């Protein structure tokens, strides 16, 4: 991609504005905001040419950049001019509209590695029409390293947060008033365009009635080529601010009839290739017509990112389209169909679909989407599919059930789960459709269980879909973009049913279904396998089988690394499973990076129910401390709500507060443990014994965590009842169950009273028993208080690796995060510790008592 947009031959130098841009480099951000045709792009291109000492990245926003994934990939390609390897370092953006924290961190980390100053010019920001992307550009400006500078050029300032940069950084703003031509500027431009000297009064008159607007002055110059007389000047003087439209028509009317007709026809595509000229405008035109039009300043410019392609200025193009519709009704639709056919022959389905949609050829557009659209899912363009399908009238789309199902799938993947569930529900309940399409709708309905709080209902949909597939092995399943073949559909539905069981707290059923799914042929598809392994690891973590959870999560993340899916949303489950393992072991710092990565993946497409598991992992680690994970805007699933209720009960018990209102689930649970503990803490041994007997009677075979909790509750109760021997047996049993998994959570929940009982057990304590006694009081780090800005848990997790011989890349691989994430955290650690090197950071952290020991496998 060129480092700037081409400079027109008639461009007028603006030295005062160039000095303003030079001054702006000293701050993180410069904005150029003015209407279309004000000369923003020309000015910035001249500035780029005037500063060979700076490394420039030029990014021109196009309409396709409304799709977050397309924007992210094109932006990465542009940044490669400053950092050749950056495209491989950047993670996938969030599917809900924004780039996300991980992407921005990776950009900042890569720019920090660039030698010298880098200036990123983002032109035509207003074309994004995506508030989340605009907001991310502002976040990027706030995060940029000292050697980087951002320039945003836009027609409007909607969504731009200017006040903060005005106050903190002496923001340079170039507005319409600054870009407005004065009489001398207008005279120079008119002279260049008309081919001769222009009288001062003519230049002043043009400047006055165009208000110094660059495009208006340019249009006047083109008009003066054919009508340099006083009559024209008189007509201009009598006109109002619609002069732009008037002059546009004058430019068209001044052209030879054949060229004028060709211009109208060539206005149909958004971008033009020379091969389209005979197809749209007919034969007999110059073979290099587009180059000639560019040289003649007919508002046609080359596309920097697409060699050989051109585009009219939007104002001129829109004017010609209006004239085409008036003079040749229906011709635009005919030409759009030709454009679609031409594009389809060249495997450009994106342009073809958009042309058919503009032509209102709804059925043809739907057929093309259904036939060629799988690539949109494979490369993350689900938002584009949503935009296409929403452009089709609802009654036309509903008449094609396959298109309607595809619309529901695309809505779900792009983060609009509630709308997706409502739409797929209608399809699933239609009795006039074949079983195949209804089964597909139910299978994808079940997949919504991570997004919306309807686990029971979606579980029933998934069970119905599985039953239908089992009952009719020969069922005809429509092939919707190759997403609905039998084996992957069965695997997707089975895993979705298992996740519904998980969210409902039925861990044994979830385990059985996930094991079946992982053994099925459909599980060979890497994203499905990664996702299912992560869910299976989550079941293990919730149950207390922490070693198995770690092994399965590591297997999933290793597969993601091997298949190039490290940033894929399917990795959210294994990351959150590792975070929950760390919380269960009482070592939240070791899971901080996994928690962050899991939250990023789940937030990326608004999987709110999965995000509740991230909330749980953090609350278990910090029941009453500062938290970073926001609670999703949906009710918590039952499996999470029970544990969160237990966390609230525990906080009330440990602070001597009354027991808060809560529900008591049937059987043994962490809530039952807290209810027993609260009665024991109050000294009401009789009530504690009664509650303990009821809970034990109703659930004789709980999870491993439940077994440990039961033994601890019995040990505490027996000690309070005066039976020390029985108490010791139960406490020893609890330790023996928990030690193989290093399961510390139940002991931390019990707190100091049980820790004291364990400390008084007879016999020499082993390492795990000493660890329980030492940490059950929730001891924190005192040294961190000495820092003006404490290290976050994520930074502490990276800090623990710094005393080792591991490189940054090796740390990233072991933590299953990107290299740029590691670099970003190390830079922040150095800043907070006020050091300049790795060895100095280690020494300073040791002095503050901040270094956490790694496992034996990591301490290399």
Asked if 532 and 524 count as a contact pair (C-beta separation under 8 A), the reply is: no
pLDDT of the residue at 371: 80
**Residue 54 DSSP SS3:** coil
pLDDT in tens, 70-84: 888 889 888 988 888
Helices (H), 682-723: 685-698, 704-721
pTM, two decimals, is: 0.74
Confidence of residue 194 (pLDDT cuts 50, 70, 90): confident
Question: Which of 78-82, 196-200, 347-351 bottoms out in mean pLDDT, i.e. has the lowest?
Answer: 196-200
State CA 847 to chain mean position distance: 39
Question: Is 747's pLDDT higher than 60?
Answer: yes
| Residue 180 to residue 316: CA distance in whole angstroms | 20
Q: Convert the pLDDT of each residue in 716-744 to its tens digit.
A: 999 999 999 999 999 999 999 999 999 99
Q: Is residue 820 pLDDT above 80, yes or no? A: no
How high does pLDDT run on average in the chain? 86
CA distances to 264, 648, 807 from 813, rounded to whole Å, are 57, 36, 10
Mean pLDDT of 473-480: 90
* Per-residue model confidence (pLDDT) at position 545: 97
Query: How many residues would you count in the chain?
Result: 860
On the question of pLDDT at 164 being above 90, the answer is no
Average confidence (pLDDT) over 30-58: 89
pLDDT of residue 509: 96
**pLDDT tens per residue across span 658-698:** 888 888 888 899 999 999 999 999 999 999 999 999 888 87
pLDDT at 858 over 60: no
Average pLDDT over residues 697-703: 74
Q: How high is the pLDDT of residue 219?
A: 73
DSSP per position, 776-805: TT----SGGGGSSSPPPHHHHHHHTTTTSS
Do residues 618 and 628 make contact, with C-beta atoms less than 8 angstroms apart?
A: yes
pLDDT-derived band at 569, boundaries 50, 70, 90: confident
Q: DSSP for 367-434, please give it.
A: HHHHHHTHHHHHTT-HHHHHHHHHHS-HHHHHTSHHHHHHHHHHHHHTT-HHHHHHHHHHHHT-TTS-
Q: Please give the Cα distance from 30 to 170 (Å, whole number).
A: 10
Q: What is the mean pLDDT of residues 54-65?
A: 88
Residue 199 has a pLDDT of 84
Which comes out higher in pLDDT, residue 76 or 816? 76
Confidence category of residue 427, pLDDT binned at 50, 70, 90: very high
Using one digit for the tens of pLDDT, what is the confidence trace for 216-269?
787 777 776 666 555 555 545 443 344 556 545 666 777 888 988 999 999 999
Q: What is the 3-state secondary structure (H, E, C) of 617-650?
A: HHHHHCCCCCCCCCCCCCCCCHHHHHHHHHHHHH
Q: What pLDDT score was predicted for residue 715?
A: 96
Instruction: Give the pLDDT confidence score for residue 425 in this predicted structure.
Output: 96
Q: Number of C-alpha atoms within 13 angstroms, CB side, residue 764?
A: 2
- pLDDT at 376 exceeding the cut of 50: yes
Q: What is the structure's pLDDT at 825? A: 83
pLDDT of res. 379: 57
- The full set of domains in the chain, from first to last, is 15-179 (3.40.50.300), 183-253 (no CATH), 400-511 (1.25.40.10), 535-632 (no CATH), 646-775 (1.25.40), 783-848 (1.10.10.10)
For the chain, report the end-to-end CA distance as a whole number of angstroms: 43
Confidence at residue 211, expressed as pLDDT on a 0 to 100 scale: 73
Q: Is the pLDDT of residue 637 over 90?
A: yes
């Amino acid at each position: 991609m060129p480092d700037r947009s081409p400079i027109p031959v008639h461009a007028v130098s603006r030295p005062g504005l160039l000095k303003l841009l030079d001054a702006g480099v000293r701050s993180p951000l410069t904005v150029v905001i003015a209407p279309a045709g004000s000369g923003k792009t020309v000015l910035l291109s001249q500035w780029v040419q005037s500063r060979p000492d700076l490394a420039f990245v030029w990014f021109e926003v196009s309409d396709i950049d409304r799709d977050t994934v397309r924007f992210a990939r094109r932006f990465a390609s542009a940044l490669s001019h400053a950092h050749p390897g950056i495209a491989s370092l950047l993670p996938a953006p969030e599917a809900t509209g924004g780039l996300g924290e991980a992407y921005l961190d990776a950009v900042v980390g890569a720019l920090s590695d660039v030698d010298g100053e880098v200036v990123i010019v983002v032109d035509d920001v207003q074309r994004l029409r995506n508030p989340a992307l605009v907001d991310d550009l502002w976040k990027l400006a706030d995060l940029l390293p000292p050697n980087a500078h951002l320039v945003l050029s836009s027609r409007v300032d909607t969504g731009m947060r200017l006040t903060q940069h005005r106050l903190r950084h002496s923001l340079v703003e170039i507005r319409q008033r600054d870009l407005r031509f004065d009489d001398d500027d207008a005279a120079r431009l008119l002279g260049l365009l008309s081919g001769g000297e222009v009288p001062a009064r003519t230049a002043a008159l043009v400047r006055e009635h165009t208000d110094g607007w660059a495009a208006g002055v340019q249009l006047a110059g083109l008009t003066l080529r054919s009508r340099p007389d006083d009559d024209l000047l008189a007509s201009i003087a009598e006109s109002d601010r619609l002069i732009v439209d008037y002059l546009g028509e004058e430019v068209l009317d001044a052209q030879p009839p054949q060229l004028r007709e060709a211009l109208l026809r060539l206005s149909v595509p958004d971008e033009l290739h020379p091969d389209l000229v005979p197809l749209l405008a007919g034969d007999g035109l110059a073979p290099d017509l587009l180059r000639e039009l560019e040289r003649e300043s007919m508002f046609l410019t080359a596309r920097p990112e697409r060699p050989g392609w051109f585009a009219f200025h939007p104002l001129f193009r829109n004017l010609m389209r209006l004239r085409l519709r008036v003079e040749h009704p229906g011709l635009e639709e005919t030409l759009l169909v030709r454009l679609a056919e031409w594009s389809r022959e060249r495997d450009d389905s994106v342009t073809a679909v958009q042309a058919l949609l503009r032509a209102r050829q709804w059925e043809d557009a739907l057929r093309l989407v259904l036939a060629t659209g799988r690539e949109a899912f494979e490369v993350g363009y689900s938002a584009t599919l949503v935009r296409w399908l929403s452009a089709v009238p609802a009654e036309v789309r509903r008449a094609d059930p396959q298109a309607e199902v595809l619309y529901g799938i695309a809505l779900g993947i792009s983060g609009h789960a509630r709308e997706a569930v409502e739409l797929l529900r209608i399809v699933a309940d239609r009795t006039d459709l074949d079983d195949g399409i209804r089964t597909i709708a139910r299978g994808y309905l079940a997949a919504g269980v991570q997004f919306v709080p309807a686990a029971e209902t979606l579980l029933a949909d998934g069970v119905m879909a599985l039953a239908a597939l089992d009952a009719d092995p020969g069922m005809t399943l429509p092939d919707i973009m190759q997403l609905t073949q039998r084996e992957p559909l069965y695997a997707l539905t089975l895993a979705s049913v298992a996740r519904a069981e998980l969210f409902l707290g039925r861990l044994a059923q979830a385990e059985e279904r996930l094991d079946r799914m992982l053994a099925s042929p459909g599980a060979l598809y890497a994203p499905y396998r990664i996702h299912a392994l992560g869910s299976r690891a989550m079941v293990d973590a919730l149950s207390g089988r922490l070693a198995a959870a770690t092994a399965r999560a590591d297997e999933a993340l290793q597969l993601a690394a091997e298949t190039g899916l490290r940033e894929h949303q399917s990795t959210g489950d294994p990351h959150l499973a590792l975070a929950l393992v760390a919380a269960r072991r009482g070592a939240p710092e070791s899971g901080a990076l996994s928690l962050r990565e899991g939250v990023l993946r789940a937030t990326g497409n608004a999987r709110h129910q999965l995000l509740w598991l991230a909330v749980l992992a953090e609350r278990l680690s910090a029941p009453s401390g500062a938290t970073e994970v926001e609670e999703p805007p949906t009710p918590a699933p039952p499996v999470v709500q029970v544990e969160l209720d237990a966390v609230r009960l525990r906080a009330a018990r440990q602070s001597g507060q009354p027991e808060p209102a809560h529900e008591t689930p049937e059987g043994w649970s962490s809530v039952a443990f807290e209810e027993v503990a609260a009665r024991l803490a109050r000294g009401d041994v009789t009530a504690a014994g009664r509650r303990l007997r009821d809970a034990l009677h109703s659930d004789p075979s709980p999870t491993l965590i439940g077994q440990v909790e039961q033994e601890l509750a019995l040990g505490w109760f027996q000690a309070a009842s005066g039976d020390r021997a029985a108490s010791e047996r139960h406490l020893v049993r609890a330790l023996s169950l928990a030690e193989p998994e290093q399961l510390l959570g139940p002991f931390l929940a019990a707190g100091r009273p049980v820790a004291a009982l364990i400390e008084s057990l007879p016999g020499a304590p082993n390492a795990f028993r000493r660890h329980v006694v030492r940490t059950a009081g929730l001891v924190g780090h005192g040294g961190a208080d000495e820092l003006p800005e404490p290290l976050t848990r994520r930074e502490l997790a990276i800090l623990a690796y710094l005393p080792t011989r591991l490189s940054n890349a090796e740390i990233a691989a072991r933590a299953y995060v990107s290299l740029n994430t590691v670099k970003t955290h190390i830079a922040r650690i150095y800043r907070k510790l006020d050091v300049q090197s790795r060895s100095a950071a280690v020494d300073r952290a040791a002095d503050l008592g901040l270094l956490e020991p790694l496992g034996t496998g990591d301490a290399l």
